[in-house]
Amino acid sequence: MSAGIQNAIYRIRKIALAAAVLGTAAALVGFFSAREDFYRTYLISFLFWWGISLGSLALIMIHHVAAGRWGFAVRRICEAAIRTLPVMIVLFLPIYLSRYNIYGWLGHSEGPHHEVVDAKRLYLNDGFFTVRAIGYFVIWLLMGRFLVGRSYRQDENGDPSINRGLARLSAPGLIVYMLTVTFASVDWAMSLEPEWFSSMYGILFVAGQALSVLAFSIILLTRLRREEPLAGILKPVYFHDLGNLMFAFTVFWAYITFSQYIIIWAGNLPEEIPWFMNRSGRGLVGVAVFLTVFHFAVPFLIMLSRLSKQRAHIIRVMAIWMFAVRFVDLYWIISPAFNPKSLHLHWLDFVMPFAVGGIWMTVFCTLLAKRPILPQHDPRFPLRQQEK
């Protein structure tokens, strides 16, 4: 790894470390002063950063299956993000240990729990919840270990058959990813409102994760674009490719979000509409309109233009923007489960993403700086192609 890249990554890590230390201190204050808000904001922040680790898993598997120029510089970023998964287990512990306070169906205090929830006891019970959580992480860790390990091994021995092995795991791996993320999002987010259900819910998280990780990669690559050896390959056409993917997932997010809405709106059934009722109280309608306009309409129109994707400084702004509105979307999905029908904001809402993100980024930067920033011997990307 060149010194320029390494220094740039260490500079980011320094900021991340500061955010982690200050953020954690503030979060601890929040834990003792505003327990409810701590749980709520922690869950949102965890789901956001977990989504980047998991989204990386998906993106890198898509790349192994479909190949393509766009994956060349993204690969090491995704691999470092996948390797943060052990940290995500540690970061999941606060949620697990507080599960009786976070998930109403686990607590006993909720008096009139309908028979609807009781009918779901086969799935919604403490033991199975625990087993599932362990299962998800084991599956993700094993998949990540295989994907990252093989890729690193190719750096050393240049064995071209490794690509085949990676593709062979990635195809079924993508199915496993879809299923585990769907179930995990049901367990950790949808079950906050245990009477409600939506078959769109899992894919909503999948689309969000893909969008987050693409935005994250673009932010990082545009930042590092002047450093060798990245400067050699990060031509406008490279950002055009990544920008197209981010654009596609922006549309996909809107498609999924709206599909869930129109199905429930058209059905107009009493067991389905409370979710939207809880999210349409004072202020929350504003958030929904904000998401429609700034998570979809405006980015859609801007990224429609080819120039906006080819110019690194414009696509960087778009990526930072998409990254930020992902939080707003998760806030809108999660927060009203705790505080229905009203826009509830606490200072922890603004601190917690940086606390969790600081920890995540510190680990991520450490892992990223350890390996060459580009795959060394992947036959599909001969190094001479970089010079072009």
Residues near other proteins, by CB under 8 A: 258, 261-262, 265-266, 268, 304, 306
Dist. CA 162–CA 157, nearest whole Å: 10
Q: Which of 241, 245, 172, 239 is nearest to 213 (CA)?
A: 245
Residue 237 beta carbon to other proteins: minimum distance, rounded to whole angstroms: 9
Nearer to other proteins, 69 or 153 (CB): 69
Backbone Cα Rg of the chain: 21
Nearer to other proteins, 31 or 261 (CB): 261
Dist. CA 306–CA 310, nearest whole Å: 6
Residue 374 beta carbon to other proteins: minimum distance, rounded to whole angstroms: 20
Q: Which of 197, 190, 179, 187 is nearest to 124 (CA)?
A: 187
Nearer to other proteins, 119 or 307 (CB): 307
Residue 343 beta carbon to other proteins: minimum distance, rounded to whole angstroms: 22
Nearer to other proteins, 10 or 265 (CB): 265
Residue 248 one-letter amino acid: A
Residue 344 beta carbon to other proteins: minimum distance, rounded to whole angstroms: 26
Nearer to other proteins, 72 or 354 (CB): 72
Nearer to other proteins, 252 or 347 (CB): 252
Residue 276 beta carbon to other proteins: minimum distance, rounded to whole angstroms: 11
Residue 36 beta carbon to other proteins: minimum distance, rounded to whole angstroms: 33
Residue 376 beta carbon to other proteins: minimum distance, rounded to whole angstroms: 24
The three-class DSSP label of residue 272 is coil
Within 10 angstroms of residue 267's Cβ, the number of other Cβ atoms is 11
Dist. CA 124–CA 116, nearest whole Å: 11
Q: Which long-range contacts (CB under 8 A, 24 or more apart) does 296-302 make?
A: 296/250, 296/251, 296/253, 296/254, 299/247, 299/250, 300/247, 300/250, 300/251, 300/254
Q: Alpha carbon 101 to chain centroid distance?
A: 24
Nearer to other proteins, 7 or 305 (CB): 305
